[in-house]
Amino acid sequence: MKITLITGLFLFALIINARSQAVEKFHEKFKDDSKYLCVSIESGLLKLLSNVKTEDKDTDEFLKAMAGINSVNIYKIDRNESSFDEASLRSFKKDIQKEKYEELMVVREGNTHLDFMVKENKGKISDLIMMVDEMDGFFLLTFSGEIDLATISRLSDKLDIDGVEHLKKIDKKD
């Protein structure tokens, strides 16, 4: 009984902290590329930040929204001076679809292709992937945890990271 409980808790922890295999594969493929940027913010820092109180109402709201997030990962790769190409993009998108991510929204604006994909768990969004494909680069932003899309969209201008401004487009979804 005790071993079953411990095994169950261990598997539950693995499921909660599991990341997309497609994203992991993407990261492993390009991590040694000099034109690849990766920023990972994990639950410890996010939980610490969610407890910070400031004098700014918007900042407090943003930090509160981040309390349900377990991880935020930002990936960016230059198309012109790296090994990332159309085949890499097609392969990544195919891998994401195999993981049963659902398309939330697609935006095509000039040469920019923007895709929002989500994975739900018991009616709640547990993972959000935003892909921004442009002529000169590819940007990938992932959120894992309990995700409130409306709050993240509304507060996206507080994140001072290239590409995050596209999160505002979630509010424009019909």
Residuewise pLDDT in 10s, the chain (174 residues): 444 434 333 333 333 345 688 899 888 888 888 888 898 888 777 777 777 778 887 777 777 777 778 888 999 988 877 788 888 888 998 999 899 898 888 889 899 999 989 888 777 888 989 999 998 889 999 988 887 766 666 556 555 545 555 655 655 544
CA separation for the pair 20, 123 (Å, rounded): 19
Instruction: Report the alpha-carbon distance of residue 41 to residue 20 in Å, rounded.
Output: 15
> Residue 13 and residue 113: Cα distance in Å, rounded?
35
* pTM, entire model: 0.71
Number of H helices, E strands in the chain: 6, 6
Q: Answer yes or no: are the C-beta atoms of 88 and 133 closer than 8 Å.
A: no
Can you give the residue ranges of every domain in the chain? 19-172
